[in-house]
Amino acid sequence: MKKPILISFIFVFSIITNIFAGNPSDTTYLKTKHYEGIIFGKNYPKNIKYIEGNPNLDEIRWNPTIDDIAIAEKILEEYLKKYCRKYSKKGGSITPFFCKNIDSYIRQYQGKLRNEQRILYINCFLRRNLKSHLDWKINEVHVFDGGAEYWYMEIDMDKREVIKFYIHGPA
């Protein structure tokens, strides 16, 4: 009699945990010599920390593969090389640190569909900030300001081009 109740409790508890903490079965952790990150799958729960007022709650997602990530990382690398060359000539304040430490950023990947375009959203933050974001494998990291320690990029995977790049402003 007690065993079925215990099993039922465990089952219900696991469902509730997956709903509120994110379903780890719909994520893929990856680490290479040059980057580390988590892929949030299309069925991964919306970020419950930032639901109120979020215009992206009704977005449609797709599942990026490890191959998609490898392609995106090459696009990211080429784009940032050009960006860093351009801004180092202008003497930008973030360029020396940012451009020399791209491999030091943790990535969070999400596939989003916009007008039937496969967009890969890549959210990045410095590895040294991990203590501030212990739930980074469950929730998208959101900050206000933070300078070059936080940035994101959107890549149109069909056209294989960067459509948005944003570095947070200084605090």
| Four-residue CA torsion sign, 71, 76, 79, 84 | negative
Long-range interactions of 95-103: CB distance < 8 A, separation 24+: 97/148, 98/148, 98/151, 98/167, 101/126, 102/77, 103/34, 103/35
pLDDT in tens, 94-142: 566 778 888 999 999 999 998 889 999 999 999 888 888 888 998 888 7
Kindly compute the dihedral angle of the four CA atoms of residues 86, 32, 37, 95, in this order, to the nearest 10 degrees. Answer: -20
The per-residue pLDDT for 101 is: 85
pTM: 0.77
The domain ranges of the chain are: 24-167
